[in-house]
Amino acid sequence: MACEICHGSRWKSVIVDGVERLARCDCWRQELIATALRDARIPPQYAHAELSTFEERGSNLKREAYRAAVTFADAFPVVDKGILFYGGHGVGKTHLAIGILKTVITQRGARGFFFETRDLLRLVRDSYNNKSEEREMDVLAPVLNADLLVLDDLGAEKTSEWVQETLGLVINTRYNAKRATIITTNLDDDLPNTDPSSFICQVGARTRSRLKEMCEWVKMSGVDVREVPFDAPPEKHATWEKNSPASPKNLPGTPKPKGMARARLRDSGKQYELNWSGGKAGNK
Ligand SMILES: [Zn+2]
């Protein structure tokens, strides 16, 4: 439907110092924003994710993460650091990242993109294929130059020297150009650096230390909202935290609290065995 003010010309008449002049119509700016949102690569399942629809109830960490997101979006582009949201599945990290992205596009006219890390790496890898129309820099240019980049689910990809180098290039280039980056990850930075699923083993020491400099690290936790509704009674939250395999308490590498079965190697003279109440595995 044509605009009622400009009837589709995208220019409107304004009076400046008593003289009639032409200026861009409001619909021109709205069209630019709509195009920028369409181009931002926001996945359809997050089409309705906004900062205003984020459910911050559930845990203090969620509330603090929400506050960090709103503060960043309000201040953009005058921000010193991006944000790295880390924590378990289903706590709303991606929702917050997309909420920030949409806010800066619609309210600041920023150019921004969402990339799932695995997708980005696949696109770069595909560009090496001779049949591909896109060259490596065609894929990387918008990623490197965007006012805001969301890199979702860092660490879900199988790591390799090439993966670490490619991600290092993206992160380093954006750091040098002082462009903000929002990252979400399930990686655990508290694991020892010998553990293959630790943050440092996945992304490499150099990129990790860069990210420490260029992002505020914001921890998120709480129940997985896909398993327990946020407004369920507190007992349900406690039961989920105790029993669900997706609970941060039950993830591999998470230290078990004292008093629970702790598998511990013990020198029993001739052989090592697991010293826990259930006895040796398969031995009744
Ligand atoms: Zn118009």
Strands 215-220 and 265-267: unpaired
Q: Distance between CA 279 and CA 277 in Å, rounded?
A: 6
CA of 270 to the centre of ligand 1 (A): 85
Walk across the sheet containing 215-220 and list its strands.
112-116, 148-154, 180-185, 82-87, 215-220
* Nearby residues of 236 by Cβ (< 8 Å), 6 or more positions away: 228
- CA–centroid distance, residue 35 to ligand 1 (Å): 16
Q: Could you tell me the pLDDT band of residue 79, with boundaries at 50, 70 and 90?
A: very high
User: What pTM, to 2 d.p., does this model score?
Assistant: 0.77
* pLDDT band per the 50, 70, 90 thresholds, residue 252: low
The owner of tokens 């926001």 is: 42
Ligand 1 centre and the CA of 148: distance in Å? 28
Count of Cβ atoms closer than 10 Å to residue 112 Cβ: 26
Q: Please tell me the least confidently modeled range out of 24-28, 54-58, 122-126, 268-272.
A: 268-272
Helix (H, G, I), strand (E, B) or coil at 75: helix
More confident residue, 121 or 223: 121
**Do 90 and 124 touch, CB atoms closer than 8 A?**
no
Q: Write the pLDDT tens digit of every residue in 224-234.
A: 655 666 566 66
**Ligand 1: centre distance to CA 220 (Å):** 43
Q: How far is the CA of 14 from the centre of ligand 1 (A)?
A: 13
How far, in Å, CA of 85 to CA of 198, rounded? Answer: 15
Span from the CA of 30 to the centroid of ligand 1 (angstroms)? 9
Taking the C-alpha atoms of 94, 95, 98 and 99 in order, what is their torsion angle to the nearest 10 degrees? -150
The alpha carbon of 13 and the centre of ligand 1 are apart by a number of angstroms equal to 10
State yes or no: pLDDT of 107 exceeds 70.
yes
Mark the residues whose beta carbon lies below 5 A from ion ligand 1: 3, 5-6, 25, 27
CA-to-CA dists, residue 243 to 171, 236, 248, 262, 276, angstroms = 37, 10, 10, 17, 20
